A and B are shown apart, each in its own frame.
Chain A
Amino acid sequence: MVGSPVLFIAIPLLAAFLIPLLGFVWKESVRILPGLVLLYLLYLSLTLMEQVVHTGTIVEVIAGWAPPWGINLVFSPLTGLLTTLMILMGFIIWIYSYRFKNIDFQEAVKYFILLLMLITGSVGIVLTGDIFNQFVFIEITSISAYALTAFYKGRDSAEASFKYLMIGSLSSMFLLLAIALIYSQLGTLNMADIAAKAHLMKPEFKILALIFFITGLGIEAEIFPLNGWAPDAYAQAPGPIGAAFSGIVVKAGVYAMIRVMFTLFDVAGTHQFLIVIGIITLIIAEMSAVRQEHLKRMLAYSSIGQMGLVIVAFGIGTEEGVFAALFLMLNHAIIKSLLFLSGSYLVYHSTGKYISEVDGIARNLPITSFLFALGSIAIVGMPPFAGFWSKWSMLTAAAHSNLILIIGLVLSVSLIELVYYFRVLNRIYFFPKKKEVVVKKPTINALLAMGLLGLLILIIGFYPDSVTGYLHAASQSLLDKGKYIHDVLSTGQLLLP
């Protein structure tokens, strides 16, 4: 064993708090340390992932309190896949923002601490096997996300952040209520133990707890009535943080919601509920995206729409559906991050971030524009890029479950996406350049980060088999509830005196 899952939380937390101290000794270390930490964790997660797919779930017991009493971390194919994805995105975002805030040392310290906390929190949400611990990680993620949203003092970022904080803290109260309800009924906080005992709960309490959970977790997952914060937060936060939100935080939110729905409670009708809520999210977000005049708001609505698609795919409920949903999540993380990273260079100096300001910018920024175009084409789902395979697997999953409506919906939504992404591409490539727009050349590390993401899109596009094995293992591990319960609770019996 190369290392234990607890390192995913311990190391970045330690590093986050070491950053300001190391900054006194050597200023450059503030920028280098997060990258080293993330690189090591990436290596660790890849090796652990390889191990887990072949030999089965690793359950880490914290402080010797065996489940169901203590906190435990579960590194299963599913959580391992998401952890790897998040850390990979974190690492690429670090490359992108290495020279970020070049002049101001204090700002860089704050930025990298918060970024590391954001990644720690999200990875914690995915790895933990205890609902209260998950609540704590959700709060760590949210508080760093509020602070990162308000990072630029010049913009309207405080307004966006306060809005996010309002919705976020209200929904975290619901989460706490759900936890209180479950604890009062079952006397346990361990997810596997709750799943094993869920039949003891009265059905009305179960549904009430489920509603509280959906309200509490839906905000990070950006499902429809709870996503009002997202467009503002994405638009006001620094560019790489938009990528971090869509690549890291949202993925953790969706995971938490799906874990509650698939593992904790098996209430009849949750799948239909997921389909309905996903479709509503999808349609409203895509319709809003078409009418946006701000580039980042458009990307944000597109991000919400994609999450709706993921939730619909989870709602199909078959193994194929879950596979498609995980594939969509993976591709969305990579492609939308590329769009945010390259898009924020396209509108770098503009205050309004209007789409009309990218006119003819391809002549000045050929590589960035090319990467943005690659991302746009990939997210719409054109072959042979990454987005095609995930949409294709979703369509086949829907076809095998006889959900013809969903097929029509996915196709028409792709058409809407085509419209608003190609509107931007048209402006970038074929409109005359506006004179007053000042162009900012991307730094070498930004180009490296965007190039890496573009390469990933091409690799997944041409060799989808390179990831499908892991995705199949992950979807089986999500649907096999009995194995999850057994894996976690059997660790406890081994350690009992």
Chain B
Amino acid sequence: MEFKLFDLSIVEYAFFVTSVLIILIGLYAALVKKTLIKIVIGLSILDAGINLLLISIGYLKAGTAPIFSPALVKNMPLTLENIKKLSEGMVDPVPQALVLTAIVIGFGVTAVALSLVIRLYRHHHTLNIDEIKNLKW
């Protein structure tokens, strides 16, 4: 569970670097771009990057699904030590559950954002953020 920052395998390292890169790309798009749609796309990319980061926390090389199936247990008595031994190769399911939730939330936010973009376009007839400034931006 505990990871040390500089003690990673190449694959894990690649996961972290990629997710940070995706987060930075998303931040760039959300903060620098002037078109509303591009900003929303940037937010979605940011979301994806963070989800990848969360998933890579639970990554295990050649990990198995965290299910104590009858084939795996093979009539072993389920003592605490046996459970520990069996669960060694298992992937941590919590980050995956978190990511599922985060994806749904991200979907909801994107939907609301896009509907607001439609409203803004109908109101101002433009998607350029510099031209929408009835309120002080």
Contact = CB atoms under 8 A, between A and B. Distances in A.
Most chain B CB within 10 A, of A136, A159, A160, A185, is at: A159
Contacts of B39: 166
Nearest to A232: B135
A187 B2 CA distance: 7
Contact-residue bracket for chain A: 20 to 34
Contact of B95 (A136, A139, A183, A236): A183
Interface in B27-73: 27, 30, 36, 39, 43, 46-47, 50, 53-54, 57
Nearest to B134: A156
B117 A162 contact: yes
Contacts of B136: 232
Contacts of A236: 135
A485 interface: no
A146 B2 contact: no
Interface stretch (A103-111, A169-177, A424-432): A169-177
B105 A139 contact: yes
B109 interface: yes
Nearest to A204: B5
Contact of B119 (A139, A143, A153, A183): A153
Contact of B112 (A146, A179, A185): A146
B112 A136 contact: no
Nearest to A149: B116
A132 interface: yes
Nearest to A176: B50
A265 to B, nearest CB: 18
Contacts of B90: none
A189 B113 contact: no
B25 interface: no
Interface in B99-137: 101-102, 105, 108-109, 112-113, 116-117, 119-120, 123, 132, 134-137
Given A136-B105, A166-B39, A183-B57, A150 B116 contact: yes
Contacts of B6: none
A162 B36 contact: yes
Contact of A173 (B46, B108, B113, B132): B46
B39 to A, nearest CB: 7
A15 to B, nearest CB: 20
Nearest to A205: B5
Contacts of A146: 112, 116
B94 interface: yes
Contact of A159 (B27, B92, B120): B120
A82 interface: no
A139 B110 CA distance: 12
A165 interface: yes
B119 A158 contact: yes
A177 B116 contact: no
Nearest to A156: B134
A177 B112 CA distance: 22
A495 interface: no
B10 interface: no
B112 A163 contact: no
Nearest to B137: A163
Contact of B43 (A147, A169, A183, A232): A169
A184 interface: yes
A134 interface: no
A180 B53 contact: yes
B76 interface: no
B84 to A, nearest CB: 14
B50 A158 contact: no
Contact of B102 (A150, A176, A185, A232): A176
Contacts of B46: 170, 173
B117 A136 contact: no
Contact of A150 (B47, B54, B119): B119
Given A136-B101, A173-B50, A180-B54, A143 B109 contact: yes
Contact of A165 (B57, B92, B102, B109): B109
Interface in A167-201: 169-170, 172-173, 176-177, 179-180, 183-185, 187, 189
B103 to A, nearest CB: 11
A161 interface: yes
A433 to B, nearest CB: 29
Interface of A: 132, 136, 139, 143, 146-147, 150, 153, 156, 158-163, 165-166, 169-170, 172-173, 176-177, 179-180, 183-185, 187, 189, 232, 235-236
13 contacts: A139-B108, A139-B109, A143-B109, A147-B112, A158-B116, A158-B120, A160-B135, A162-B36, A165-B109, A165-B112, A166-B43, A170-B43, A172-B105
Interface of B: 1-3, 23, 27, 30, 36, 39, 43, 46-47, 50, 53-54, 57, 92, 94-95, 98, 101-102, 105, 108-109, 112-113, 116-117, 119-120, 123, 132, 134-137
Given A150-B119, A158-B120, A183-B57, 16 more contacts: A132-B101, A143-B112, A146-B112, A147-B112, A150-B116, A158-B116, A159-B135, A162-B117, A165-B109, A166-B30, A166-B39, A169-B113, A170-B30, A173-B46, A179-B98, A183-B94
